[in-house]
């Protein structure tokens, strides 16, 4: 098995390396390395052999690889795969974790046997690609600028997407199906469809799902879904110019009065005042 070293392939001044991989044939065999990676599947699918397991990764999958993972890529019977890869030094990750602070669940990224991954929506995939493509627009001789952009991008992507797999309310004693259900619920295509979608994903009765949410989280499935909706709405209010009525529809609520009521209960502010307050304090 090969071991790759940052000193051999990553510029020490930039501390990162970005590349487009147009075919699985362009990858190497089973290997590990002393650096970290973030890769995004752009087209097709690939079998990811990782730490003794085999995963089928589809288009839009975003995966974080740690410096102790052992992995390789195998072509599927369905065709080839194209993906982008950002490799970066341990120092970059350490600085990122320090910057994001105690609220960022770093131990849940580094300690589990399998690395974290998430399936993005098409819009999210295009956003991640856009952010990574910014590295190609900076002349490589401007190394401090490239280094700064790498760190800005990683801060953005980790805070948006990578931590999503690490549910801060997971507790010991929760059944695996319940943990998996909560992780699935955090995907936009599910929480915007409400409690019925949550129950459908579980494959269990509505009453049983309600009992399990009360037992393990101390809340109803509806409350859990609405927490996810409000979190997504907060991001849209602060980071987009979308009209408030459109944000309500975007999170799956066609009753804007109900949206206002939920939001005010959480923040003691209307969505409009929340947006104003956020802009003032930036």
Closest to 225 measured CA to CA, from 202, 195, 251, 201: 195
| 194 and 122 part of one domain | no
| 132 and 250 part of one domain | no
Question: How far, in Å, CA of 257 to CA of 259, rounded?
Answer: 5
pLDDT average, residue stretch 208-212: 95
* pLDDT score for 216: 87
Domain boundary among 114, 144, 165: 165
pLDDT digits (tens, 9 = 90+) for 43-70: 999 999 999 888 888 888 899 999 999 9
pLDDT digits (tens, 9 = 90+) for 132-178: 988 889 998 999 999 999 999 999 999 888 764 444 444 457 888 99
Map tokens 């740690």 to a residue: 66
Confirm whether 66 is domain-assigned.
yes
| 153 and 194 part of one domain | no
Name the pTM for this structure.
0.60
Which residues have CB under 8 Å from 8's CB, separation 6+?
none
The single-letter DSSP state of residue 280 is H
Confirm whether 170 is domain-assigned.
no
- Cα 175 to chain centroid distance, Å, stands at 23
Give the DSSP H or E segment for 228.
Answer: helix 221-239
Q: How many structural domains is the chain composed of?
A: 2
Q: Which of 36-45, 112-121, 178-187, 216-225 has the lowest mean pLDDT?
A: 112-121
Question: How far, in Å, CA of 101 to CA of 148, rounded?
Answer: 19
| 160 and 182 part of one domain | no
Summary mean pLDDT of the chain: 88
Note down the domain range covering 251: 176-280
Confirm whether 92 is domain-assigned.
yes
Give the pairing type, strands 71-75 and 36-44: unpaired
As given in the structure block, the two tokens for residue 198 are 């949550």
pLDDT average, residue stretch 198-227: 92
CATH of the domain at 34: 2.60.120.280
| 58 and 153 part of one domain | yes
What is the band of 120 on the pLDDT scale with cuts at 50, 70, 90?
A: confident
pLDDT average, residue stretch 28-33: 95
* pLDDT score for 35: 97
* pLDDT score for 167: 45
| 260 and 213 part of one domain | yes
| 33 and 138 part of one domain | yes
* pLDDT score for 170: 47
pLDDT average, residue stretch 202-227: 92
Between 13 and 268, where is the model more confident?
13
What is the band of 279 on the pLDDT scale with cuts at 50, 70, 90?
A: low
Q: Which of 71-75, 117-121, 166-170, 265-269 has the lowest mean pLDDT?
A: 166-170
| 118 and 35 part of one domain | yes
15, with CB counted inside 10 A (0-12, 13-18, 19+), is buried
Q: Is the pLDDT of residue 195 over 70?
A: yes
CATH of the domain at 275: 1.10.10.60
Confirm whether 208 is domain-assigned.
yes
């Amino acid at each position: 098995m090969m071991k790759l070293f940052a000193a051999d392939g990553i510029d020490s001044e930039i501390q990162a390396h970005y590349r487009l991989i147009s075919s699985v044939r362009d990858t190497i065999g089973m290997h590990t390395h002393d650096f970290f990676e973030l890769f995004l599947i752009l087209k097709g699918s690939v079998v990811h052999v990782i730490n003794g397991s085999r995963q089928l990764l589809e288009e839009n999958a975003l995966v974080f690889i740690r410096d102790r993972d052992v992995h390789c890529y195998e072509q599927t019977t369905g065709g080839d795969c194209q993906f982008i890869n950002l490799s970066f030094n341990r120092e970059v990750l350490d600085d990122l974790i320090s910057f994001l602070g105690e609220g960022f669940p770093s131990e849940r990224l580094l300690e589990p046997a399998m690395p974290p991954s998430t399936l993005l929506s098409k819009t999210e995939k295009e956003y991640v690609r856009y952010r990574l493509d910014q590295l190609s627009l900076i002349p490589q001789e401007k190394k401090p600028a490239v280094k700064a952009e790498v760190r800005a991008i990683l801060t953005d992507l980790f805070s948006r997407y990578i931590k999503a797999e690490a549910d801060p309310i997971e507790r010991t004693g929760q059944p695996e199906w319940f943990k998996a259900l909560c992780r699935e619920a955090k995907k936009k295509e599910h929480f915007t469809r409400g409690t019925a979608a949550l129950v459908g994903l579980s494959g269990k009765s509505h009453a049983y799902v309600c009992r399990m949410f009360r037992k393990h989280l101390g809340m109803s499935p509806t409350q859990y879904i609405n927490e996810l909706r409000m979190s997504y709405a907060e991001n849209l209010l602060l980071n987009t110019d979308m009209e408030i009525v459109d944000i309500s529809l975007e999170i799956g609520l066609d009753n804007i009065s109900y949206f206002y009521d939920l939001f005010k209960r959480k923040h003691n502010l209307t969505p409009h005042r929340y947006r104003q307050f956020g802009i003032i304090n930036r």
